[in-house]
Structure 1
């Protein structure tokens, strides 16, 4: 059976992290996606507001997260993946903000990833296609960032994972960075060969794929072994809602908004043996706290069902 994971956001608190990890274990999860992006919010970054969380020294940051590390270990939960705060570059941002993201936030995120025993960290590629005019020029800027962190990644045994993103154009959701599976697979192979290590991989995001109409089976099959981690969540095809799979329908006959059958076929095609990780933190804010455990159990049961469908 494949391991099932979920975000720590909304489930694990800084005040008593062990209780949150124990709840996740009771719900049926073996792994977590550590929500480091919750400590420097994208809404603040876009507004040129920095809370200076990453001004702290590595020793101070490790001390802050020591209860999380201990709580996860005591609960028998593995910190499998992490989400670096994003964006990593703001075209309209101040020099101070962009330098802070590169020089402090990013390398310290890598240090924390290693401290927590995590081997995968998800990053967002640069959204610069409109400014630069071409996707390859956009990717070149993302690759500069990857090369900046790649030596650390190799030394620490961490794989940076880019994910398929969307962007908004005239009120419509359109493809953003990393929405071409063939190019992604080629770039991952090339960069890993350059470093002689798996410094780069891919995070497939089901919600983003649904928003821009990617063929999930084809995309995952094309990625093949380059696919390392997943962000699994559902939406209505219009807004990035991060809800429970099978939540939305396109017809009264309940045809699912998201092609979950194609998603599973893709994972089966490549013999995926990684973690089925759910990026569904907003679901917990929709339910009363007294229902969080049961809600998480339901999500974990979907993962267990999918595991049987994938591993046949």
Structure 2
């Protein structure tokens, strides 16, 4: 099994995805999860009326080829579907463009959050999210890109009935589309207190992606294994038992926290009437060491199970 990580690791250090990708040189990572999570924001080229977004993706492809990097999975844009028509249409547009971006880079799987509906029953949740998924069926089929639903936790997303492998399998079977699969987030599952081995086995061949993250069981800290209290033995054994086809994909962007990081923000301090920000941000050279540490953690864990692949 290969180790990969999200391009979002260096989001605070470079403006474009291509520039972020270049910063991974020397960290050990060669396989990547293309993060398009923040492209649905004001001023984004993914919201422009022209095709400027394609030039950005082309630049990403050029950088990847130059550096010998590969993409294995993608994360779709975030958005607020129920916050009004403009917000809804922006989310739909950027998601459709993200699917096409995957095709441009040869990515076959894109993780997409389902709609959070705090007051919905499980049946209502499934029906509304099926309608949402159906908006992208034509794009998925046209570009050959699978959509992967993701599990979450009640603490983060009340009314999100994709918490366990059994719920995810039930939903996928309910939607009944051959290009709908699952991504298992270990950090979300740890918050939920889920039996992760049991859920992975329940998903079986429906599981095509993972988000490897740790926390203390209380908040979605997105730190790395060994920096929290999640047990990764049942996770790796489960992946082996189902012959998981994907990469051991890190979403552990917060070994060190930037000052405004969700859900942990650094408390501001004022001196003589002015805010002091000397140590607000983590310098790039330290950040790169934490990314390299993630790679070494992943390599160690998979080597212990005799399944590490360069």
When normalised by structure 2's length, the TM-score is 0.82
Deviations 1:9-41 (A, max 9, x none): 1426345835x4354253221211111112236
Whole-angstrom distance in 1 between the partners of 2:305 and 2:243: 8
In the TM superposition, 1:152-163 aligns within 5 A as 152-163=139-150
Return the offset for 1:184: 1.9
Paired position in structure 2 for 1:46: none
Return the offset for 1:53: 4.1
Whole-angstrom distance in 2 between the partners of 1:165 and 1:223: 15
Paired position in structure 2 for 1:45: none
Matched, 1:123 2:112: yes
Q: Is the 8 A contact 1:38 1:85 kept in 2?
A: yes
Q: Is the 8 A contact 1:10 1:284 kept in 2?
A: no
Return the offset for 1:264: 1.7
Paired position in structure 1 for 2:32: 32
Match of 2:290 among 292, 295, 299: 295
Unaligned runs of 5+ in 2: 259-281
Greater share of residues in helix: 1
Q: Is the 8 A contact 2:196 2:234 kept in 1?
A: yes
Paired position in structure 1 for 2:266: none
Return the offset for 1:303: 1.3
Return the offset for 1:73: 1.4
Matched, 1:107 2:93: no
Match of 2:166 among 166, 172, 182: 182
Return the offset for 1:95: 2.4
In the TM superposition, 1:183-198 aligns within 5 A as 183-189=167-173, 191=175, 195=177, 197=178
Return the offset for 1:183: 3.4
Aligned pair count reads: 282
Whole-angstrom distance in 1 between the partners of 2:16 and 2:46: 19
Paired position in structure 2 for 1:9: 8
Paired position in structure 1 for 2:300: 305
Q: Is the 8 A contact 2:39 2:94 kept in 1?
A: no
Paired position in structure 2 for 1:254: none
| Distance change >3 Å, CA 51–CA 22, structure 1 → 2 | closer
Question: Considering only aligned residues, what root-mean-square deviation do their CA atoms show, in Å?
Answer: 2.4
Q: Is the 8 A contact 1:113 1:121 kept in 2?
A: yes
Paired position in structure 2 for 1:267: 239
Matched residue of 1:161: which SS? strand
Matched, 1:97 2:87: yes
Unaligned runs of 5+ in 1: 42-49, 249-256
Paired position in structure 1 for 2:126: 139
